[in-house]
């Protein structure tokens, strides 16, 4: 009897696993990325990228383990004992790193070559038929992007093929056919998604999330990190005057003293006037 | 505490039969089980609610007047605490909405979920698609900067060329022959009152129809398999929905942090150094109109009116043309091919529009 | 199909005679057709598949088996089923009618475990709260931003003392106040009342000594000296913020009278009658050598017996 793993194509197998694992890990990685961004660190370069990759590795191992075990049990009826996630992840990662390098080179070269070829071809064609700018852009884009995309897809397929082949070897080596019926198998992989102590899990998850939220509040800038070059508009400045209480008090006390003096002299004058002509009243 | 809650629950239950309502809302067996592929509709609802929340918040400070719209938007960005973040969230939320609409429509299309008996859900969904696009178009004007003003001017000019109704439609939107305060007032009221009302009503209808006709379920699998994996809408599907919502929420927050809204200069009748361009999800159509075959009055009609209208009509007629009950996308080559061509077309034209910017500087 | 559906309490006949009656009908949630009937025979409930039904009549159902074979069908387990009222299966109740009683549908196996349901339900609430939580603080700050604006302590010229012809009489000063109102540069007509007080009236106003004014930190920004005969009363009634007037009263003579709730104050600001909780509010005032009056437009919360500065 042939092994159930041989019934499925390597590419499909690797695709199903990595696609599901990618999305399983995605929300966790976004949380990390968001915190980095709130701290004004770019997660796509330098320390930000290193931090993100470091955090991503365990997330991916867990996600790949969960999705792989599910897939094996549900689709193939195979139970795999031992650490599935790490066993598959390192193979995928090594193959992926290698393929990423190859793809970077292959796609880059294809794009560059096709760009040159497209330019040359269009240069010749333009001498015969005039091509307007908008059409030229799209034609040129298609002429280099289509081959580059095909090369990229080829690289992806090769990676999937290789990874799928490794996955199959892994399943054949360490998997055992499950004797349970379909319903029982579905129940089983469903149960993997629920932790043994779910209350503890919920509480710790909540605690971590509340901590992260507080970190987010602390890190998030109150005013925009990207100010408009012309803000504030010039006339708005004139209206705002800073009031310094002490200075103002001293100043006004001086004015007040002067005013009192003036008032005093006025009253004196008035009194003099009264005295001067008492009979006139 | 629990006893009190129970009393409140019993009080309500006695009057409106809450238990049955709850059972009907939550305990919907999902054949083949809950799936991540089913989250798009719920995520759209979530994005809309968040747009409503952030939109209402922005209205606390926004002034819909041609004299103050720009200044008040700048005020939100620069003076109000976290105003920049809430505005940027609203801005990126609109993009997320469009992306999710495309994802949702694609999923329904690829799953063959528009077929009998779900044609009406599909039709209402198309109307909702139009409303989402209208939201993007009307909201774009409100900051009243150069980008806003010129995108709207061009957009309304395109509408103006629609045969028969174009002139009326353009005047209706502008509130006159040229853009000004009336235009802003109209765009504002359409954006904050008319469209939200329409969307809420139609989304409610969409959901009602969906619940009445029932979900389509997976397009393959034996009845035994479907039965074995069956679970209820609550909690497993809701759990998937809410995790997806959280992921979308975090993504929008990230985008708001990476690329916060920075306005251009205040709108003025001279575009200056700015090259007018619509929001990115209209770019493909914008770029299409630069092609020679869409030049001239007839070309304009063809590119701006006839082709989009024909496309929308085709989508509307889809469940009535495609009557085969086959739902598996891998057994519907024409459907798969057309979807791929449309998606690649949109992608290529959008990228072309971005490359085209270099030729303008 | 609808015309020939098994009914609850229908008699069940096997090839060799009546065995019992139908107690439940079970539907398939996917095909929306009857999958089983539950037959009560000899005190047990047996689940008989629809395929074993030969014919459905008005008040009876005929089976393809004989009475002895009934016992071979599995016993009905009520816990494995739900009534169609407890779940939402579109079109099911239109296609399958069961009267009188409930139509049963299978209880999904995945939904039977309570801990698992509770875990997912718990997580839904936690994540829902966690979407709201990160926004809570920014949104609160966003909304409250203009609510606690700093006090406006700048001096505003409101007129000249030459307008006052008689001592101890309220004189209204209407002036333009320019200020920044969100993004708007606005100018508003405001009014305050100034009296030129005779020494005895002045004594009553300053019965607790000089009046000092403070900013939000509690630092003194100005002191009204009791030697200055000019006193400014804020034009806002300390009761509920209406605008009051200088009027003659039948018994009380010349008074400040608020038309809203008939609070009456004398020329020292003291409450003579009405609901006002405190005297009229005195404003920081200075009079220049040329007689120009300047005030700080201090505003206190109305309706309080003590002074609570709000602007």
Of A213, A239, A245, the CB nearest to C220: A245
Do residue A235 and residue C227 have CB atoms under 8 angstroms apart?
no
**Which of B57, B83, B232 is the best substitution to test chain C (most C C-beta atoms within 10 A)?**
B232
Structural domains of chain C sorted by starting position, each given as residue range(s) with its CATH number in brackets: 2-111 (2.30.30.240), 152-296 (2.102.10.10)
pLDDT confidence bin for A249, thresholds 50/70/90:
low
How much is the pLDDT for A278?
Answer: 45
Q: Does C180 touch chain B (CB under 8 A)?
A: no
Q: What is the DSSP letter of C167?
A: T
Terminal-residue alpha carbon distance, chain A: 136
Task: Using a pLDDT cut of 90, give the percent of chain A over it.
Answer: 53
Alpha-carbon distance of C260 to C252, in angstroms, equals 18
Domains of chain B in start order, with CATH, are: 25-282 (1.20.810.10)
C216 chain-A contacts, CB cut-off 8 A: none
Residue C292, beta-bridge partner list: C160
- For C20-36, write each residue's pLDDT tens digit: 999 999 999 888 999 99
Partner-chain contact C117 B235, CB within 8 Å: yes
Q: Quick one: pLDDT band at residue C97, thresholds 50, 70, 90?
A: confident
Q: Give the lowest-confidence range in A143-157, A262-276, B95-109, C167-181.
A: A262-276
Token output for B78: 């620069």
pLDDT at residue B226 greater than cutoff 80: yes
SS3 C211: strand
CB contact under 8 A, C110 and A217: no
% residues pLDDT > 70 (chain A): 86
Q: What average pLDDT does the structure give for chain B?
A: 93
Mutate to test the interface with B, among A134, A135, A194, A219 (most CBs of B within 10 A): A134
pLDDT digits (tens, 9 = 90+) for C122-155: 999 999 988 999 999 999 999 999 999 899 999 9
As for the ipTM of the complex, it is 0.89
A252 in reach of chain C (CB within 8 A)? yes
pLDDT of residue C279: 96
- Residues making up chain C, counted from first to last: 311
Say yes or no to pLDDT of A236 above 70.
Answer: no
Q: Is the pLDDT of residue A86 over 90?
A: yes
pLDDT classification of A247: cutoffs 50, 70, 90: low
- Domains of chain A by residue range: 4-219, 239-273
Over residues B110-130, the pLDDT tens digits come to 999 999 999 999 999 999 999
- Please report which confidence band the pLDDT of residue A279 belongs to, taking 50, 70 and 90 as the band edges: very low
Q: What's the confidence (pLDDT) of residue B39?
A: 94
Q: Is residue C234 pLDDT above 70, yes or no?
A: yes
Q: Which of B140-149, B173-182, C14-23 has the lowest mean pLDDT?
A: C14-23
Q: What is the pLDDT of residues A15-74, one digit of tens each?
A: 999 999 999 999 899 889 988 988 888 899 999 999 999 999 999 999 999 999 999 998
pLDDT at position C299 over 60: yes
pLDDT bucket at A281, cuts 50 / 70 / 90: very low
Q: For residue A189, how far is the Cα from the chain centroid? A: 30
Q: What is the share, in percent, of chain B residues with pLDDT greater than 70?
A: 100
Q: Chain C contacts of B34, Cβ < 8 Å?
A: none
Tokens of C18: 């009546």
Given pLDDT bands bounded at 50, 70 and 90, which one contains residue A239? Answer: very low
B285-294 as b/e, with b when 16 or more CB fall inside 10 Å? Answer: bbbbbbbeeb
User: What percent of chain B has a predicted confidence (pLDDT) above 90?
Assistant: 77
Calpha distance A235→A252 (Å, rounded): 28
- Calpha distance B145→B94 (Å, rounded): 18
Q: Do B355 and A233 touch (CB under 8 A)?
A: no
């Amino acid at each position: 009897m042939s092994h159930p793993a041989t019934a499925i194509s390597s590419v499909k197998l690797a695709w199903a696993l990595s696609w599901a694992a990618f999305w399983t890990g995605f929300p966790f990685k976004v949380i990390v990325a968001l915190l980095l961004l709130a701290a004004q660190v770019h997660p796509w370069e330098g320390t930000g990228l290193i931090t993100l990759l470091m955090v991503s590795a365990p997330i991916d191992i867990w996600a790949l383990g969960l999705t792989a075990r599910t897939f094996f049990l549900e689709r193939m009826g195979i139970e795999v004992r031992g650490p599935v996630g790490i066993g598959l992840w390192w193979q995928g990662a090594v193959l992926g790193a290698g393929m990423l390098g190859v793809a970077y080179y292959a796609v880059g070269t294809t794009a560059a070559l096709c760009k040159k070829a497209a330019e040359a071809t269009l240069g010749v064609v333009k001498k015969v038929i005039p091509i307007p700018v908008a059409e030229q852009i799209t034609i040129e884009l298609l002429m280099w992007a289509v081959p580059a995309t095909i090369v990229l897809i080829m690289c992806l397929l090769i990676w999937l093929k290789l990874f799928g082949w490794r996955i199959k070897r892994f399943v054949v080596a360490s998997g055992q056919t499950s004797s349970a019926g379909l319903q029982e198998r579905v129940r089983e992989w469903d149960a993997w998604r629920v932790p043994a102590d779910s209350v503890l899990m919920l509480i710790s998850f909540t605690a971590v999330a509340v901590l992260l939220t507080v970190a987010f509040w602390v890190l998030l800038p109150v005013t925009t990190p990207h100010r408009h070059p012309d803000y504030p508009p010039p006339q708005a400045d004139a209206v705002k005057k800073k009031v310094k209480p002490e200075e103002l008090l001293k100043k006004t006390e001086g004015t007040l003293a002067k005013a009192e003096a003036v008032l005093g002299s006025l009253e004196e004058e008035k009194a003099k006037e009264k005295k001067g002509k008492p009979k006139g009243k | 505490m629990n006893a009190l809650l129970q009393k409140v629950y019993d009080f309500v239950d006695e009057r409106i039969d809450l238990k049955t309502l709850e059972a009907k809302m939550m305990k919907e067996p999902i054949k083949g089980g809950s799936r991540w592929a089913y989250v798009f509709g719920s995520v759209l609802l979530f994005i809309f609610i968040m747009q409503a929340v952030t939109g209402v918040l922005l209205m606390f400070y926004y002034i819909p007047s041609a004299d103050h719209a720009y200044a008040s938007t700048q005020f939100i960005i620069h003076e109000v605490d976290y105003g920049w973040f809430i505005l940027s969230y609203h801005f990126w939320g609109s993009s997320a909405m469009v992306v999710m609409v495309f994802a949702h429509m694609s999923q329904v299309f690829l799953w063959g979920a528009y077929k009998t008996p779900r044609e009406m859900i599909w039709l209402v969904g198309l109307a909702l698609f139009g409303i989402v696009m209208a939201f993007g178009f009307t909201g774009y004007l409100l900051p009243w900067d150069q980008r806003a003003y010129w995108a709207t001017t061009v957009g309304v000019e395109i509408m103006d060329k629609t045969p028969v109704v174009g002139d009326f439609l353009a005047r209706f939107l502008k509130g006159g022959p040229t853009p000004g305060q009336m235009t802003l007032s109209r765009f504002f009221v359409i954006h904050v009152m008319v469209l939200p009302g329409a969307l809420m009503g139609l989304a409610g209808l969409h959901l009602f129809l969906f619940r009445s006709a029932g979900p389509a379920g997976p397009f393959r699998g034996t009845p035994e398999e479907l039965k074995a994996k069956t679970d209820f809408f609550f909690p497993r599907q809701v759990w998937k929905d809410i995790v997806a919502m959280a992921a979308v929420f975090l993504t929008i927050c990230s985008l708001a942090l990476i690329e916060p809204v920075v306005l251009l200069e205040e709108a003025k009748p001279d575009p200056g150094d700015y090259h007018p361009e619509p929001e990115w999800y209209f770019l493909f159509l914008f770029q299409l109109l630069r092609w020679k075959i869409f030049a001239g009055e007839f070309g304009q009609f063809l590119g701006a009116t006839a082709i989009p209208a024909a496309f929308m009509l085709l989508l509307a007629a889809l469940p009535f043309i495609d009557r085969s009950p086959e739902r598996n996308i891998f057994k519907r080559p024409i459907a798969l091919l057309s979807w791929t061509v449309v998606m690649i077309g949109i992608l290529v034209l959008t990228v072309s529009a971005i490359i085209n910017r270099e030729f303008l500087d | 199909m609808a015309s020939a559906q098994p009914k609850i309490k229908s008699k069940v006949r096997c090839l060799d005679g009546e065995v019992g009656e139908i107690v439940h009908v079970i539907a398939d949630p996917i095909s929306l057709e009857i999958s089983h009937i539950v037959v009560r025979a000899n005190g047990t409930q047996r689940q008989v598949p629809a395929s074993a039904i030969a014919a459905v009549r008005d008040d009876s159902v005929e089976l393809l088996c004989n009475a002895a074979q009934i016992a071979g069908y599995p016993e009905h387990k009520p816990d494995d089923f739900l009534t169609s009222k407890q779940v939402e299966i579109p079109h099911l109740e239109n296609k399958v009618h069961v009267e009188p009683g409930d139509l049963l549908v299978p209880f999904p196996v995945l939904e039977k475990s309570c801990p698992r349901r509770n875990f997912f339900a718990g997580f839904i609430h936690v994540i829902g709260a966690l979407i709201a939580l990160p926004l809570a603080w920014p949104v609160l700050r966003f909304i409250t931003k203009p609510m606690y604006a700093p006090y406006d302590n700048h001096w505003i010229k409101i007129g000249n003392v030459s307008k006052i012809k008689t001592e101890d009489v309220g004189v209204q000063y209407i002036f333009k106040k320019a200020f920044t109102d969100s993004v708007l540069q606005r100018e508003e007509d405001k009014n305050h009342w100034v009296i030129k007080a005779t020494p005895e009236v002045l004594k009553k106003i300053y019965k607790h000594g000089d009046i000092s004014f403070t900013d939000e930190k509690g630092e003194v920004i100005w002191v009204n000296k009791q030697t200055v005969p000019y006193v400014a009363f804020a034009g806002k009634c300390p009761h509920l913020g209406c605008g009051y007037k200088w009027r003659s009263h039948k018994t009380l003579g010349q008074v400040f009278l608020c038309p809203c709730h008939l609070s009456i104050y004398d020329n020292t600001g003291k409450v003579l009658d009405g609901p006002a909780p405190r005297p009229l509010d005195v404003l920081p005032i200075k009079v220049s050598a040329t007689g120009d009056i300047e005030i700080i437009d201090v505003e206190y919360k109305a309706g309080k017996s003590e002074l609570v500065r709000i602007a």
